Amino acid sequence: MLLTLTTTHEPATDLGYLLHKHPARCQSFTLPFGQAHVYYPEASATRCTAALVLDVDPVGLVRDARGATIRQYVNDRPYVASSLLSVALARVYGSALNGRCKDRPELAQTAIPLHARLAALPCAAGEDRLRRLFEPLGYAVTATQHPMDPVFPAWGASPYFTVELTHTICLDQLLSHLYVLMPVLDGAKHYWVGEEEVEKLLRQGEGWLADHPERDYITQRYLKYRKALARAALSRLTTPDEAQDAEAQDAEEAAVERPLSLHDQRLDAVLEVLVQTGATSVLDLGCGEGRLLHRLWSAPQFTRIVGVDVSHRALERAQARLRLDRQPEAQRRRVELHHGSLVYRDRRLTGFDAAALVEVVEHLDPPRLAAFARSVFGEARPRTVVLTTPNREYNARFETLPAGQLRHRDHRFEWTRAEFEAWAHQVAEAYGYTVDIRPVGPEDPALGAPTQMGVFDRRPASPNTP
Ligand code: SAH
């Protein structure tokens, strides 16, 4: 089994520091089930590749030779990426997997161009499943499925893929994605799955698993469908009382803003823009409990309405608000609700006329804003994006809000008018949109309006672009 990692970050040979393996040496490691070897087929200043070869001894894998069948000796284990390779990764690239790098600590925390190639990854569930696991994490995925036997095409396709993953990402993140997802795709695990596996999953899944759209699938497969373990892991992934907290916090925000019934004004303003654009298909990203969805649904112009939220609980409430189960089929078909996170690429969000993001951006951690902008403006790319966010300057006018406090406890920031304008123009410029910023709610002569709304329109593709 062969896994290669390539970088074009310069100097590329820094990969040696990141992996704690000198590019000029070949090193071998003894594992309980065979040998691992690391060497560098190429190591120049502009491009460097580290190869990890795992030489599994199938005889060593058979714990009890008495009564062992031929299948226990002759199988795909030595040749494919599986939980054995995850164990080898942890053993051979352990420091890198944990983000430690003595000589280049800052580099370990830097996203660098990386390319991983897995010579053979078993994925009986097919290429779509493979993509649904890696693409939301931002990877460009190339998957080549191999025939069962090249000499006998009639035997059809095998479940084995050569997979290439390309991304600009920190090395420890890439390694932890592989560590978790290889055994998820392979399905088989070579060891007993117990409590310890929950800890490993949560540790290696930190920072990405909780809001991965396939979180439940990954958790269940990683834990081999052991229900109690999966339940324990999932309850820790949806941070404690996240849902109930969210409700209480929303109520607080509503109380601060109530004298203006600002939320209604905002939703009306967004709806009006969406209606005027003539859009028929519309995304409500971070749809929450579905207040905007409900308004969109009442306007027959919108024939395809898709709400997306990272919170299961919010989606359940949206579903209840829309009473979808009681609607006639034709009406029901107009609306879809998806669980997903806006900081990851999601192919389900492409091909829409418009997208609304009402009071969502301020819930994202600032380091995730670039990924958010890429996925909404760079990948989903609707013709129009309408985005609202609080104007922090106006907070001084809210009588019940203590000075300096944000309107909602989950707000990671609130922008001044200048800050929002700067961000909006930078994003518009980067992704080929124009932006018009408008006030929502009563304007204070000095402080502006309580809500700021950016209306982004995609520029027509220039005739010179292919
Ligand atoms: N647009 C709704 C809800 C706003 S509250 C309304 O105006 O009523 C912000 C919403 O964004 C919450 O429902 C929260 O779950 C969701 N959210 C936060 N981070 C997200 C992410 N990364 N991806 C998708 N939704 C997210």
Over residues 242-297, the pLDDT tens digits come to: 545 666 667 777 767 766 578 888 999 999 999 999 999 999 999 999 999 999 98
Q: Which atom of ligand 1 is nearest to the CA of 388?
A: 7
Distance (Å) from CA 310 to ligand 1 centroid: 7
Ligand 1 mutation target, pool 342, 360, 364, 406, most atoms within 8 A of CB: 360
Q: Which atom of ligand 1 is nearest to the CA of 343?
A: 22
Distance (Å) from CA 140 to ligand 1 centroid: 26
| pTM of the predicted structure, to 2 decimals | 0.55
CA distance 411 to 201: 28
191-222 exposure pattern, b = at least 16 Cβ within 10 A, e = fewer: eebeeebbeebbebbeebbbbbbbbeebbbbb
Is the pLDDT at 327 greater than 90? The verdict is no
Distance (Å) from CA 334 to ligand 1 centroid: 21
Q: Count Cα neighbours of 128 within 13 Å in the Cβ-side half-sphere.
A: 3
Over residues 171-196, the pLDDT tens digits come to: 999 999 999 999 999 877 666 667 78
Ligand 1 mutation target, pool 309, 368, 389, 453, most atoms within 8 A of CB: 309
Task: Give me the pLDDT at residue 190, please.
Answer: 64
Distance (Å) from CA 246 to ligand 1 centroid: 10
Is the pLDDT at 378 greater than 60? The verdict is yes
Task: Give me the pLDDT at residue 260, please.
Answer: 58
Ligand 1 mutation target, pool 363, 369, 451, most atoms within 8 A of CB: 363
Task: Give me the pLDDT at residue 240, please.
Answer: 43
Computed over every residue of the chain, the mean pLDDT equals 89
Position of tokens 């209606």? 275
| Mode of pairing for the β-strands spanning 433-440 and 354-358 | unpaired
Over residues 389-401, the pLDDT tens digits come to: 999 999 988 888 8
Which pLDDT band, with edges at 50, 70 and 90, does 64 fall under?
Answer: low
Average pLDDT over residues 337-347: 90
Structure tokens at 388: 């609202």
CA 146, 149, 151, 157 dihedral sign is: negative
Distance (Å) from CA 362 to ligand 1 centroid: 9
User: Nearest-CA neighbor of 167 among 363, 9, 403?
Assistant: 9
Distance (Å) from CA 286 to ligand 1 centroid: 3
Ligand 1: residues with CB < 6 A are 211, 286-288, 291, 309-311, 314, 341-343, 358-360, 363-364
Higher pLDDT, residue 47 or 241: 47
CA distance 283 to 337: 10
Q: Which of 47-51, 327-331, 363-367 has the highest mean pLDDT?
A: 47-51
Over residues 70-111, the pLDDT tens digits come to: 777 777 888 888 888 998 999 999 999 999 888 888 899 889
Distance (Å) from CA 386 to ligand 1 centroid: 14
To the nearest whole percent, how much of the chain has pLDDT over 70?
91
Task: Give me the pLDDT at residue 241, please.
Answer: 47
* 61 φ, ψ (degrees, to nearest 5): -75, -25
CA distance 261 to 441: 9
Which pLDDT band, with edges at 50, 70 and 90, does 62 fall under?
Answer: low
Ligand 1 mutation target, pool 215, 270, 310, 357, most atoms within 8 A of CB: 310
